[in-house]
Amino acid sequence: MNRLMRASGSEGLSVVGLFAGIGGIELGLHAAGHETVLLCDVDEGAQAVLREKFTGVPLVGDIRELVALPSIELCAAGFPCQDLSQAGRTAGIGGEQSGLVNEVFRLVTETDVRWLLLENVPFMLQLDRGEAMRFLTRSLEGLGFHWAYRVVDTRAFGVPQRRQRVTLLASRTEDPRAVLFVGDEGEPETPKVEDVACGFYWTEGVRGLGWAVDAIPTLKGGSTIGIPSPPAIRLPNGFIGTPDLRDAERLQGFEADWTLPAAEGRRVGARWKLVGNAVSVPVARWVGERLLDPRSYEGASDEVLAATDPWPRAAWSTGEGARRADLSVWPVRESYQQLESFLDYDVAPLSERATAGFLGRAKRSSLRFPPGFLEDVSAHLEAVRARAVAA
């Protein structure tokens, strides 16, 4: 029997999770009252997690070997982002990995599934002048789907990770705007940098920083050869370190050690990759809750989106052309837990090599840094070197 049961008293949807990863979408949907009846992911580490956490749910490996979907109401697919991400190969929607979304379209073509839920990186709105998004929306329209998408930030749900992702919902029979476009709280005022922990990517420093105030920047999957790439955190006292993997899991909405089943026979970098590639659980939970409580959306004043226009943060089509919706990435504003107090595990000091490398790149760059930040990095480097000498 599945250990992740539906919420009491709810009438949730039956779900198939394609490209399920470690179950971020599925766990969030379960929390909202829905039930997964089939999972699919080709990664062996992800499979180990799914078998442990979704006991009794059938699991398929390669989506290309899945002949047909069972009778379901919702098909969810966090399809691969490697070819769409700014940090990845940017090969585009036709790339070897991200092009697998065509397998999703193949599977839903011959079904009467009520809902299709897709999730991916916001850079696909810009890549190839928006061609990836045009491909997705045209494919959906060709299959008779109405669609709506919205860029949503994980911070809106009280979790201190600045992670923005495109959530795209489509249906042949219902209005996806009634789900995704409910609520718009707007981004709150940013606290003072010196008062809170701030995250950044120590692997950068020339063209960008990934600076996030009272949050970490988006967790990444790491390198293609399994080297983990956790962000760095500068605490208010100037200490600079990297978060524990268990806190990274929590920052995605999972319980600590959620990916432990994937540890056997694999490097720790494999677990970081699984976490970085996952869908944030709170975002999926929000979608699941809205599916059970849709609200009407007028949209009469939404402007027509021309074919040459850049893709906005939110847009929709019910069969008569695409329109832009003026919505923020904060559909809700749940009670926010500050980054420093969120961390349950020790922050490991950023190594001498990593600190020196970042500092060197930063000093050569033309980037503007927050006041006192580079001084903190320099002081941390000296402290790390002093400890090494003392040892």
- Reference 73, options 44, 39, 120, 108; nearest CA is 108
All residues at 6 or more sequence positions from 115 whose CB lies less than 8 Å from its CB, including other chains: 13, 73, 74, 75, 169, 170, 171, 174, 176, 291
Question: Per the residue annotation, which of 40, 75, 81, 198 is the catalytic one?
Answer: 81
CA distance to 200, 201, 353, 357, 363, per residue, from 382 (Å): 20, 20, 12, 13, 16
Q: What is the rounded CA–CA span in Å between residue 127 and residue 13?
A: 33
Task: Answer yes or no: are the C-beta atoms of 19 and 78 closer than 8 Å.
Answer: yes
Task: Answer yes or no: are the C-beta atoms of 213 and 198 closer than 8 Å.
Answer: yes
- Reference 117, options 290, 237, 264; nearest CA is 290
DSSP designation for 88: S
- 81 catalytic residue (yes or no): yes
Q: Which residues belong to the active site?
A: 81
